[in-house]
Structure 1
Amino acid sequence: MEVIHLKAGENVAKRKDKVSAWYIVQEGNVTLRHEFEETTLGPNAIIGILEQDWFICDYYASTDVTLYVFPCEGVNDLKQFLAAEPKMRRIFLRSALLQRHQLFCAYADMYHKVRQFQNLSDTLYEEYVYLCARSKVEAKQSLDVANITPLEMQHKAENWEINNSNSLIRGALDAYLNLMETDEDLCIGSIMEASAQMHRIARGIREMTNYLRNNRDALFSQVRSDLFHASLLLQSGVKARGGDDGEIKKLIEKQLGYAKELGIFQEELLVSCAKEYASNTEKETAVDQECKTDLEYILQFAGYEGDKYQEMQELFVAYEKVKDADNKDEAAYRLRKQVGKVFYELYWDCFLQAVEGRKKITPVMEMFFNFAYIDQGFLGEDKTSELYQLSAHLDMCASDHVFTIFRWLRAVYEGEKEPSKNEFDMDYTAYLNDGLRRGEWTKEEVARRKQDQKAKARYELENMFTSVNRVTYGNITMFSPVLCEKDLFNSLDKMVVTADRIEDAFNTVRKIDYSLFYRPMLPRTGTSDLIKNEMVMEEILPDVILMPNAGTRAMMWQETASVRNDTPARFMIPIFTAVDLQEAILENCGRYRWEMCRKIQGVRWNDIRERSLTSDYYDYLQFYRKNRELSAETKDQIKGALARAKNNFREIFVKDYQNWIKYEAKGGFRLNRYVRQIMFTYCPFSKAYRADLKTNPMFADAIGKLETNNARNYKRLQGLYEKYKREGGTITPELRENLNFYQM
């Protein structure tokens, strides 16, 4: 087993990382972190034992730690390890049972927190309604707290499980261990049973975490539609009439006290709310007081005045009055075209007001920036209300690799991300050089623009945003950038594309095509001659940008973020969609496979002398008529596929890739023998799927060759890395990932 040392605060594993190894804590402590709960894992604890495929929890070193690492993706790897190390049976089983008990305790704490939240929400809301009635003030009817429903658990711990674990840990643990370690199958069965329970319980804790995160805004939030701000407003009204606000003060102080006790709110939010209460102010901005509609508010947020304000307002009002949003007459077409032009100008002006800190982003502006909302007249009251509620939970649409369009543009503006290619496949540097060549800019102007983050963000908005927004909508001729009621023909919770939905869809493909996002790279660390020129396989997950429309098409916009191959691809998806997200992701993973190979191969992408996915596939389609391995029927099928794809070889590959993942991986044959061979060579199945197909004569030889090559590479790398360590080198996570790649 490999030994690694981590400093306090360093990550051991992050949620959504691929599980390729388990870690045994030798010295120190590791913290298992949920959002509102933490569990400390001490010596002999096993990190990864409760996980499946991808980590569902975060783990970080709470002290300096020493960890043993051994590759493990399931019961077969565990069985091999314990067969080779029988003395570890008792340690593993003991650790599994103790960790299960710890997780049950964390589950019980979280369950109590959820019950406490539900009871407090009901109690505090009833007190608020009572005080409103007593003060002869109408209670706010739109408060979310009135609609909080009890949580129905999908992954629940039963009482008998908790009681069983308690009894085992408190009195019968040694006797149980003595019995189980006598038999390998009994021991492994007990470990995996505990592992399955822990996985379910961890998912249950995540369910409760999501419930609290999604409902806590009903009590305290920044969007001011919560119980706390309603209570402040009630207090202000009573004080303005000269009434006694003593009972209302007690209610507000109770709310603040309970919020701190629950421990589910951000500290900054509670400090801000406490300051508001202390000053007893609930002032509306001048803009809020003057504006009658959301359209007027957005226009004033952008800083428009006079004629420009009037012209923009009249244009959007005229567009709102078009009875048939799909009207194809000339007047409606011209109106759509005008709106399409001015919308992005309005977006840019509002964007600058927000990112330069001139104005605070309110819920209406959140809706505008992320969903292209303009006014209630375009959506209707019900859909507007749904959208308003969704704007309070935009964190559902965000992760390290998933961005709303506003968050993406902000990342470009702040220099965290580089601009995307435009519709002519030109990146920002190529675009500037083209302008220099055509005489639009001087060398000095080009040099300035290369460092100008505002210019980069403007380029991103005027190129990628405008182009992709139209294409992902799905109907280019009838496209309008303004979100309309006709586009939202289903409930928003069913149409919204969340980060979890996206990651689940990608993981479904990655689980089968394990090498999908891996690329050969030179090591980023290590200067030893032993490894500095040794290519390593590194997984680089794509960035996904959610376009503010209700569309029907996803896109793989570019296979890398720049000319460098170590940057993530960019996938574009509508933030609301009615199509099957899994199908859309799978289709674009196929396009990514093709385009990434083309980029790596360069001008030789179709040169059969340089064997690659694209060159083999190009040769197969270009010369299929002369291929004696193909039957006449198969040749007719290829001819038909070429005609349907208009001789676009990539699109034929994409269809075959979809069949490869959906059917061939499960033993359903849809491809001819020649294509199957190409696919297995460049898009092989993961170990779990290969195990199921090993006995199938269609795959037996290919699987045997792949696993022999993987074993040879693994053994060679092991020897190389051992020599590197003897010279004083450190096996970095990058090198460990490369080693694990050959065991997938």
Structure 2
Amino acid sequence: MAMIECAAGTKLHEVGQKVETVEIILKGSIRMNVGEDGVELKQGSIVGLTESPGGNFAFSYEASTDATVYSYPFTCHEDLEKILYVNQKIAPSITVQSIRNAVDFYNLYFHLKQKVEDNYKWVLEKKKNYPELCLETGTQQEEYPELEELTAPPTPTSVEHWNVAYMNMVHDYEDRFLSQVYTLGSAMCAGMVFSAGSFMDNIEEAVQEELAYQEEFVRLTNRFRIAIQNLEAKKKGVATGGNSNVDVPVMKDILEQIIIYPTQGTFSDEDAALLRQLMKQYASVKERGETSDEMRGLRRKITDVFYRLYEAVFLKAITDANMPSIIRMFLMFGVLDERVVKEEDLQVLFRYASAYMPDPNGKIMTVYEWLGKIYRMEENPSRNEFDLDYPSQLREDVRNGDITEAQEQQMLNDPKCRLQFELRNFFAIGNRMTFGRVSAFIPVFDACNCLMPLDKAYASIHRVQEEMDRIRSIDYNIFEREYTYHNEDVGIPQLPVHKEVFPYIILMPNFGSRAVLWQEIEGKKRTSPGRMMVPIFDVEDLGDSVTKMCGEFRWEMCKTEQGIHWNDLSDPSLTAEYSDYLQYYRKNSNLSQDQREKLKKDLQKAGNNYRRVFVADYYTYITFEAKGALRLNKVSRDIIFHYCPFADEVRKALAANPTYQEHINKHQGRVSQKARPLANIIKKMQNTQVPVPKELMREYELLQK
């Protein structure tokens, strides 16, 4: 035992030092350092109350002010009891201070925990927005594989709610405890001090978990956090007109640079001269968006030569490891001539092109990337406007005498012929369709078509994926395809199961207003991905466009699966029931007179096209009904929910809605009926130690959705 004088800043104990003594603070204050924070231990406090005798100090202790402490041996916890008996006069004060320190320690832990959780949420949010931030600043995306190792913050088990509430209450009523409880004797004081010490031990365990997590968090996120800080500073510079640190060159004579880029002979001198003349004429027109016969004729001529140039540029770019940014801007956005593009838009387009990163899932891509897959024979060309695929069109050409059978065989696997077929059909027609305003269409990027700021319209891979994920979170089985699974090794001759087949989504190089389903499957294989188109700059709400496109997919996929029976009510399906509903709505007793009148107008507006009416209702179903805003009539709601049931989370949110209770109960009944035999098969395999195939487990999990 000894009296110790400590000048401010003196280290009383270091982390890792063996615990042999505890101290009572007689004057001044000692700081218990906990990470970057700490607890101020004031007069009457026990220094080391949360430490284990004979162990190592978990925290360091440092004099915050000039302080005087009395040191006692600390070989076991009973030594604390002896200290209180020796100091009976000040034992109540020591007890009060012990409770205060315990509560302060908990508050420190609570704020540390909150900080850790906030930092984790911050990283998740920044990770989600990272692609957009790169696009806005024209920065090439980097990979951060270390972020995949990041886990959620720990959930404490040592700190129990009742204990926290108890300590807070003792602290809140410390005056009453001091006058009525602690004065009962040293035994009462010892009990309360031990209680505070035990509470602090539990907090220490939780604090150490948080500190360990924080250290690992810093290690895993340091590189990413620095990158985000730099990008946000760069974004601020761009937004305020400052230096964005993006090296955007002065872009002049873009047309000439693109014309001379292709390999000699792939783009004729005649076409080059024609395009120069046409673009000069086009750029000189003030009202380039007008739909006069003269302007439509001019745009048509430019369109014809544009696609010939695109083919020639593509054939060079596909093997060019150092593709110039201007060429990338042409292939991605249709940028051809700076005379019809605003200077500030050119800079934004340059940043977008420079920062572009392919979809890691390989499903959402620019049209240039898609044409590359066709050219490299990774995918077959799409159907043409007559719904003929490439081999079928070649056979038709043979029958018509346009080509010979020998030419057919040669062209079937000729990369350039396949490319030209895709350019003439999927690209040229799809580009016009997604543009929306057919009479004003031109494939060249033109400022007159920019109906909103580029950053608001840009349909980046990240944004498109978010919208598709939103649809899947509501219409959970939209892309599920049924197939027959068989595995004789585990005693399954055949079993119908599903797998998700996400479609290809191609970003078309225009400033358009419509997302389009081109085809729901490839060829005749029903488990092949569909092909969808989205304008790379969408003047409409991207979410609305994608929702309507998915409605088209629902309709066409059902027609494909049903074949000639797609509108045959004897073989019930989405299209059959909806067609029957629309055909005989006048006699439907489940519809009010107002609903019949509305349906009559809807059909007139859709040109009596049943698919269009369904797509409009599907949009309402996803956008409003899923949120509990009832807009559909009973008949349409019944049909759509039956074939496009909401996901589990949406169903739970709607469970209290009387309109949906019956639908949800029926759905649960259908699911249970399907899941029961599958669950029996899985249980039987598990009981006999037979590995359950992942296809069966996935099917069972799908049914739970």
Please indicate the TM-score interval, normalised by the length of the shorter structure: 0.5 to 0.7
| Structure 1: distance between partners of 2:657 and 2:136 | 57
Instruction: State the match for 2:544 in structure 1.
Output: 583
Instruction: State the match for 2:530 in structure 1.
Output: 569
SS of residue matched to 1:403? strand
Instruction: State the match for 1:526 in structure 2.
Output: 487
Summarize the Cα distance change of 1:104–1:678 in structure 2 as closer, same or farther, 3 Å threshold. Answer: closer
Instruction: State the match for 2:562 in structure 1.
Output: 601
| Equivalent residue in structure 2 for 1:669, among 602, 605, 630 | 630
Q: Are residue 341 (structure 1) and residue 301 (structure 2) matched?
A: no
**Deviation of the 1:709 alpha carbon:** 2.5
Q: Are residue 452 (structure 1) and residue 435 (structure 2) matched?
A: no
| Equivalent residue in structure 2 for 1:176, among 147, 159, 168 | 159
| Equivalent residue in structure 1 for 2:476, among 508, 514, 520 | 514
| Structure 2: distance between partners of 1:206 and 1:631 | 62
Summarize the Cα distance change of 1:212–1:364 in structure 2 as closer, same or farther, 3 Å threshold. Answer: farther
Q: Is the 8 A contact 1:554 1:588 kept in 2?
A: yes
Cα deviations by residue, 1:354-406 (Å, 9 ceiling, x for unpaired): 1144x731100000110000121120322112211111111277752111011
| Equivalent residue in structure 1 for 2:317, among 335, 338, 354 | 354
Q: Are residue 740 (structure 1) and residue 704 (structure 2) matched?
A: no
SS of residue matched to 1:514? coil
| Structure 2: distance between partners of 1:580 and 1:206 | 35
Instruction: State the match for 1:318 in structure 2.
Output: 281
Summarize the Cα distance change of 1:665–1:633 in structure 2 as closer, same or farther, 3 Å threshold. Answer: same
Larger radius of gyration: 2
**Deviation of the 1:455 alpha carbon:** 1.7
| Equivalent residue in structure 1 for 2:585, among 613, 619, 624 | 624
| Structure 2: distance between partners of 1:334 and 1:715 | 64
Instruction: State the match for 2:84 in structure 1.
Output: none
Q: Is the 8 A contact 2:383 2:390 kept in 1?
A: yes
Q: Is the 8 A contact 1:367 1:388 kept in 2?
A: yes
Summarize the Cα distance change of 1:106–1:614 in structure 2 as closer, same or farther, 3 Å threshold. Answer: same
SS of residue matched to 2:423? helix
**Deviation of the 1:685 alpha carbon:** 1.3
**Deviation of the 1:529 alpha carbon:** 7.3
SS of residue matched to 1:483? coil
Alignment of 1:632-647 (within 5 A): 632-647=593-608
| Structure 1: distance between partners of 2:333 and 2:246 | 27
| Structure 2: distance between partners of 1:422 and 1:551 | 21
Alignment of 1:42-81 (within 5 A): none
Q: Are residue 687 (structure 1) and residue 645 (structure 2) matched?
A: no
Q: Which letter does structure 2 place at the counterpart of 1:352?
A: L
Instruction: State the match for 1:441 in structure 2.
Output: 403
Q: Is the 8 A contact 1:294 1:374 kept in 2?
A: yes
Summarize the Cα distance change of 1:528–1:101 in structure 2 as closer, same or farther, 3 Å threshold. Answer: farther
| Structure 1: distance between partners of 2:344 and 2:641 | 50
Q: Which letter does structure 1 place at the counterpart of 2:502?
A: L
Of all paired residues, the percent bearing the same amino acid is 30
Summarize the Cα distance change of 1:211–1:543 in structure 2 as closer, same or farther, 3 Å threshold. Answer: farther
| Structure 2: distance between partners of 1:431 and 1:675 | 39
| Equivalent residue in structure 2 for 1:374, among 336, 341, 347 | 336
SS of residue matched to 1:535? strand
| Structure 2: distance between partners of 1:422 and 1:671 | 35
Instruction: State the match for 1:301 in structure 2.
Output: 261
| Equivalent residue in structure 2 for 1:702, among 654, 663, 666 | 663
Q: Are residue 394 (structure 1) and residue 377 (structure 2) matched?
A: no
Cα deviations by residue, 1:67-108 (Å, 9 ceiling, x for unpaired): xxxxxxxxxxxxxxxxxxxxxxxxxxxxxx9xx999879969
**Deviation of the 1:470 alpha carbon:** 0.9
Alignment of 1:201-350 (within 5 A): 208=225, 211=228, 293-302=253-262, 303=264, 304=267, 306-350=269-313
Summarize the Cα distance change of 1:177–1:420 in structure 2 as closer, same or farther, 3 Å threshold. Answer: farther
Cα RMSD (Å):
4.2
Summarize the Cα distance change of 1:519–1:444 in structure 2 as closer, same or farther, 3 Å threshold. Answer: same
Cα deviations by residue, 1:305-362 (Å, 9 ceiling, x for unpaired): 75553333223222222222124444433221110100000000011111144x7311
Q: Is the 8 A contact 2:136 2:455 kept in 1?
A: no
| Structure 2: distance between partners of 1:146 and 1:634 | 50
| Structure 2: distance between partners of 1:646 and 1:464 | 25
Summarize the Cα distance change of 1:305–1:174 in structure 2 as closer, same or farther, 3 Å threshold. Answer: closer
Summarize the Cα distance change of 1:336–1:737 in structure 2 as closer, same or farther, 3 Å threshold. Answer: same
SS of residue matched to 1:590? helix
Q: TM-score, normalised by structure 1?
A: 0.62
**Deviation of the 1:301 alpha carbon:** 0.3
**Deviation of the 1:209 alpha carbon:** 8.6
Q: Which letter does structure 2 place at the counterpart of 1:295?
A: L
Q: Is the 8 A contact 1:363 1:392 kept in 2?
A: yes
Instruction: State the match for 2:10 in structure 1.
Output: none
SS of residue matched to 2:510? strand
Cα deviations by residue, 1:215-270 (Å, 9 ceiling, x for unpaired): 8999xxxxxx998999xxxxxxxxxxxxxxxxxxxxxxxxxxxxxxxxxxxxxxxx
SS of residue matched to 2:518? strand
| Structure 1: distance between partners of 2:229 and 2:406 | 54
Q: TM-score, normalised by structure 2?
A: 0.65
Summarize the Cα distance change of 1:145–1:608 in structure 2 as closer, same or farther, 3 Å threshold. Answer: closer
Q: Where do 5+ consecutive residues of structure 2 fail to align?
A: 1-109, 128-134, 140-150, 164-205, 236-242
**Deviation of the 1:606 alpha carbon:** 0.7
| Structure 2: distance between partners of 1:626 and 1:421 | 39
Q: Where do 5+ consecutive residues of structure 1 fail to align?
A: 1-96, 115-143, 149-161, 181-189, 219-224, 231-287
| Structure 1: distance between partners of 2:287 and 2:268 | 30
| Structure 2: distance between partners of 1:300 and 1:545 | 27
| Structure 1: distance between partners of 2:230 and 2:409 | 46
Q: Is the 8 A contact 2:271 2:305 kept in 1?
A: no
Cα deviations by residue, 1:477-517 (Å, 9 ceiling, x for unpaired): 11111001112243321111011211221222221211211
Summarize the Cα distance change of 1:689–1:205 in structure 2 as closer, same or farther, 3 Å threshold. Answer: farther
Instruction: State the match for 1:404 in structure 2.
Output: 366
Summarize the Cα distance change of 1:207–1:293 in structure 2 as closer, same or farther, 3 Å threshold. Answer: same
Q: Is the 8 A contact 2:137 2:351 kept in 1?
A: no
Summarize the Cα distance change of 1:549–1:399 in structure 2 as closer, same or farther, 3 Å threshold. Answer: farther
Q: Which letter does structure 1 place at the counterpart of 2:412?
A: K
